[in-house]
Structure 1
């Protein structure tokens, strides 16, 4: 019975991936991002990167954010903080709160940019304004530190 359930769940996952692939191929950028996440879960970071790139190039802020995470951490690409900064900037400009927060973290740590805690606070504040609690927490901490 357990084997049957596992096979049924695996089949549902494949069907879901096929549906996402069809939608992505038809230009649904959110489906491209979701499919990229599925590939990343299975550690196929190269395929995930391709899908995030397609979404980001099409203007999807979440695709840019996920691609930024890939570059920041070296998932399917050579680690590159400068490229991560560019992608997080694009994501943040597109209204992605976690992109703003991660951009702030790069400024805080001086990764791919000159360290600038005031800019880190600015991007944490933008993340907070977009509804991301961790951004609010980071903003508060930086504010308490005098930045």
Structure 2
């Protein structure tokens, strides 16, 4: 009898310990299951962020219009839609948001959601730069340097690219190097004077 009671108590303890063992035991999930769970969570967060940006943009929050345009362009929180991205960027740009102007210029350069038009893109990048957006200044400088969308102005283009590079905008530094205009040991202003005298 004693043996039966001991066996029964061991069995009861073992059954009671099962949930704890399952909770802390060696329960495995595949990498795919983990990735799917993270993707679902991210999608829900992006959907909520897109909805919030849509509401804020409708109430003339031009930073939110830029974020909304970026979400449409990248397909975050829903389907990718370049036309809606262009619309949101345009609203942001009209509200004097430099990032919005740069976003619309990018789409205009590549013909996504709007007709490709380098002349309009150059005007938009200039406007972006005027509103203080560093990426817009770098892109405008690149267009000036190469003559894309209008006449060439190498000296001004190089100055804008160099200024963006000096402010740690890596794309501008890479672009200067690609154009053969960036030499880290040279004096920037001397290079600009030299470039200006050549053109």
TM range (shorter): 0.7 to 0.9
How far residue 14 of structure 1 moved from its aligned partner, in angstroms, is: 1.2
Q: How many residues align?
A: 147
Q: Larger relative contact order (C-alpha < 8 A, sep ≥ 6)?
A: 1
Superposition pairs of residues 64-143 of structure 1, within 5 angstroms: 64-128=101-165, 130-136=167-173, 138=176, 141-142=180-181
How far residue 136 of structure 1 moved from its aligned partner, in angstroms, is: 4.7
Other-structure match for 2:65: 32
CA distance in 1, matches of 2:38, 2:167: 40
Distance 1:10 1:134, change over 3 A: closer
* Correspondence 1:63 to 2:100: yes
* Correspondence 1:18 to 2:18: no
CA distance in 1, matches of 2:144, 2:115: 20
Moved more, 67-76 or 136-145: 136-145
How does the TM-score come out when normalised to structure 1?
0.86
Aligned partners of 1:97 and 1:131 also within 8 Å: no
Candidates 40, 44, 56, aligned match of 1:7? 40
Classify the secondary structure of the residue corresponding to 1:114.
coil
Distance 1:20 1:116, change over 3 A: same
Name structure 1 gaps, 5 residues minimum.
Answer: none
CA distance in 2, matches of 1:61, 1:22: 21
How far residue 4 of structure 1 moved from its aligned partner, in angstroms, is: 5.2
Moved more, 88-97 or 127-136: 127-136
How does the TM-score come out when normalised to structure 2?
0.65
Runs of 4+ in structure 1 deviating by more than 6 angstroms, as ranges, are none
Aligned partners of 2:138 and 2:172 also within 8 Å: yes
Name structure 2 gaps, 5 residues minimum.
Answer: 1-28, 184-190
Distance 1:6 1:124, change over 3 A: closer
